[in-house]
Amino acid sequence: MIDITCQLLVIGAGPGGYVCAIRAGQLGLDTVIVEAARPGGTCLNVGCIPSKAMIHAADEFARLGHFAQGASPLGITTASPAIDLARTVEWKDGIVRRLTGGVSGLLKKAGVKQVEGWARFRDGKSVVVETATGPQRILAETVVIATGSEAVALPGLPFGGDILSSTEALSLTAVPERLAVVGAGYIGLELGTAFAKLGSNVTILEAAGRILPLWDAELTRPVARRLEKLGIAVHLDAKADRYAENTRTLSFVDAEGSDRSIAVDKVLVTVGRRPATRARGLEELDLTLDGHAIAVDEHCRTSMRGVYAIGDVTGEPMLAHRAMAQGEMVAEIVAGHRRAWDKRAIPAVCFTDPEIVSAGLSPTDAQKAGIDIRTGVFPFQANGRAMTLERDDGFVRIVARAGDNVILGIQATGVQVSEMASYFAHAIEMGARLEDVAATVHAHPTQGEAVQEAAMRALGHALHV
């Protein structure tokens, strides 16, 4: 067996792991990264990027369909659109190849050694990797676990055949005529909406009493209205329990407790993701867990000396940009910098229709924390740019501490609001007050003006509402 020794060993080349390795390489640490699949992890290969590519394709197709029906007030008409989903998927795969190839190039540029294969932990300082040329042992001074997460299956609906996880759904080469989506979290709603726009007859089953149960209810209402408009059937308080492949029937128990069934061609199960802590020797390390996740402190240190964990494997919020920020921080800590996790806001985005953004505290979060707040809401109905985009549903909401007007949270729902997520986080991280946002000249006409107006409204002097 060949031995490699290094200062820093990163397991998993998702957004957490590859960012950590690049930064470590830049800082002169002798770094090795091990990845079983392709660099980029869930995010670039089967998550963030592929899903947004398919959402874009679906939006384009739906827009043309709207024109073809003569339903557009813009005076545009066109012939009925057609879609070759296999080509769409090829296009999406091309983007993925460019990005994953780019990650490999960046790792190389930073002087990071890349090893391909599954790593199995032997102890807190060494792993054995099953590479194409045989097993390779890697010994490291410091180890970073960045193994990500995996889709959770339901006992009666194991993945395989017609039962898909988001990974298979993103590579379908034909649009299913009838699609059931089990779980109305952000992944289920993003993909369910995309398939409805591509022409599938979509039914959503959600065990909780509302869609996006982990999100602020007020923010989700415009999305619920849009699902209805798109003809998507939503069953709430509904528990899917089994699927008969021969008859293509999905059974579920509805809100009244009655057994129901629907005929479908594919079932997409999106009931959550679980930190990938269960396999490949990780259990032998005897790390302290927090539920299913590896417990970490504000430096991403685990309970074992010299072993760090970052990204989805450390639990919620399971988001690519959190994983990246943790990765960068850990590389700097290992290189001797003084860093700690002190973020005030990790913006979260739902690329639903309309989109939702939440950064910092919602009014409910603030109230639960016993903070006295003032809020300002500004509807896109009063925003000129939203009107020119033909979509004025949704609003911006700003939450500030009552005593000094320091902004604690900003949320929005509306078309293209994802592009404002970083602006929201920036204001919160900089410790901006309502007065700062209100006094900043906002470009016109933009949807960002709604944030300024929300701040003015919280101060009691909105201009356009």
Closest among 179, 332, 309 to 243, alpha carbons compared: 179
Q: Shortest gap between Cβ of 127 and ligand FAD (angstroms)?
A: 8
Is residue 42 within 8 A of residue 130, CB to CB? The reply is no
Residue ranges in 310-339 that form contacts with ligand FAD under rule CB under 6 A: 311-312, 318-321, 323
Q: What is the C-alpha separation between 285 and 278, in angstroms, rounded?
A: 11
Per-residue contact flags (x/-) with ligand FAD for residues 143 to 162, judged by CB under 6 A: ---xxxx-------------
Q: Is 185 one of the binding residues for ligand FAD (CB under 6 A)?
A: no
Evaluated on CA atoms 38, 41, 46, 50, the torsion sign reads negative
Q: What is the C-alpha separation between 53 and 132, in angstroms, rounded?
A: 32
Q: Which helix (H) or strand (E) holds 143?
A: strand 134-145
Taking the least distance from each CB to ligand FAD, the nearer of 349 and 458 is 349
Q: Shortest gap between Cβ of 155 and ligand FAD (angstroms)?
A: 20
Is residue 463 within 8 A of residue 453, CB to CB? The reply is yes
Q: Shortest gap between Cβ of 78 and ligand FAD (angstroms)?
A: 30
Q: Is 124 one of the binding residues for ligand FAD (CB under 6 A)?
A: no
Q: What is the C-alpha separation between 17 and 110, in angstroms, rounded?
A: 14
Residue ranges in 7-36 that form contacts with ligand FAD under rule CB under 6 A: 11-17, 34-36
Total residues contacting ligand FAD by CB under 6 A comes to: 35
Taking the least distance from each CB to ligand FAD, the nearer of 17 and 354 is 17
Q: Shortest gap between Cβ of 48 and ligand FAD (angstroms)?
A: 4
Residue ranges in 336-375 that form contacts with ligand FAD under rule CB under 6 A: 351
Residue with tokens 């296009």: 91
- Residues near 16 by Cβ (< 8 Å), separated by ≥ 6? 41, 146, 148, 310, 311, 312, 323, 324, 326, 327
Catalytic residues: 444
**Which position among 51, 352, 358, 447 is part of the footprint of ligand FAD (CB under 6 A)?**
51
DSSP reduced 3-state for 322: helix
Residue ranges that bind ligand FAD, judged by CB under 6 A: 11-17, 34-37, 41-43, 47-48, 51, 118-119, 146-149, 166, 187, 276, 280, 311-312, 318-321, 323, 351
